[in-house]
Homo-oligomer: A and B are copies of this chain.
Amino acid sequence: MNLSSIQQEFVLHFGEMGSRWGINRTVGQIYAVLFLSNVPLNADQIVEKLGFSRSNVSMGLKELQAWSLVRMKHLPDDRRDYFTTPEDLWEIVRILVAERKKREIDPTLSKLRELEMQKPDSDADRHAHDLLSELRELIELLTGWYDDMNRLETERLKQLLSLGAKIQKLAGKADILSMVGRRKATDKITAGKGT
């Protein structure tokens, strides 16, 4: 059970890229193999395909589970653990974004809020304090927007994304409307649509 040249190359590439993301080469390759496989694989099959030690694969799978990037399955009459990636690519994207936010953004947001509690005592400190507030607000705007987007179902999300900047023309309009009153604005817009 070996990899075709296309698969091989993708797996290698994904391993390299893995190290630019938070995960290491091994974990990246394991993920790629699972991603490409149309059937769930157990740890020994991954060992066979990639040539890593059994324990290395075990640790890699553990890390992927910590990222919620793989699911464990069981086959009838087989005690071994099998693994797959979510079938839906968008689900994978959502997970990735959520996990990276959790690891790379949220801790900083907490820290900024915490630091804002302390009051500045010097002049340079006041400047720093202001910067941190500004940064916090910016991050809150971004994460708030992300939360909104993440609530949308995938088809809606795709619509929005493909609209791209064209949406911006609408935004100007919506901006005007929202000055008249939020209720009115949304009512008018959704009038014929029913939610």
Residues of A within 8 A of B (CB): 4-7, 9-10, 13-14, 17, 20-22, 35-38, 89-90, 93, 103-104, 107-108, 111, 115, 118, 120-122, 124-125, 127-129, 131-132, 134-135, 138, 141-142, 144-145, 147-149, 151-152, 156, 158-175, 177-178, 182, 186, 188-195
Q: A17's closest neighbor in chain B, by CB? A: B108
A102 to B88, alpha carbons, bound, how many Å? 25
Q: Is the CB of B156 within 8 A of A168?
A: yes
Max chain B Cβ within 10 angstroms of own Cβ: one of A5, A159, A171: A171
Residues of the B chain whose Cβ atoms lie less than 8 Å from the Cβ of A35: 131
Q: Is the CB of A6 within 8 A of B148?
A: no
Copies in the complex: 2
Q: Is the CB of B175 within 8 A of A163?
A: yes
Q: Is the CB of A6 within 8 A of B134?
A: no
The smallest C-beta distance from A131 to any residue of chain B, in angstroms, reads 6
Known: A141-B162, A173-B190. 15 other contacts (CB 8 A): A6-B118, A6-B132, A7-B124, A9-B115, A20-B103, A20-B104, A36-B128, A37-B124, A38-B124, A148-B165, A151-B165, A160-B171, A169-B189, A172-B193, A190-B191
Residues of the B chain whose Cβ atoms lie less than 8 Å from the Cβ of A160: 167-168, 171
Residues of the B chain whose Cβ atoms lie less than 8 Å from the Cβ of A189: 169-170, 173, 189-190
A194 to B172, alpha carbons, bound, how many Å? 11
The smallest C-beta distance from A142 to any residue of chain B, in angstroms, reads 7
Q: Is the CB of A170 within 8 A of B168?
A: no
Q: A160's closest neighbor in chain B, by CB? A: B171
Residues of the B chain whose Cβ atoms lie less than 8 Å from the Cβ of A13: 107-108, 111
Q: A123's closest neighbor in chain B, by CB? A: B38
Residues of the B chain whose Cβ atoms lie less than 8 Å from the Cβ of A141: 158, 161-162
A152 to B107, alpha carbons, bound, how many Å? 29
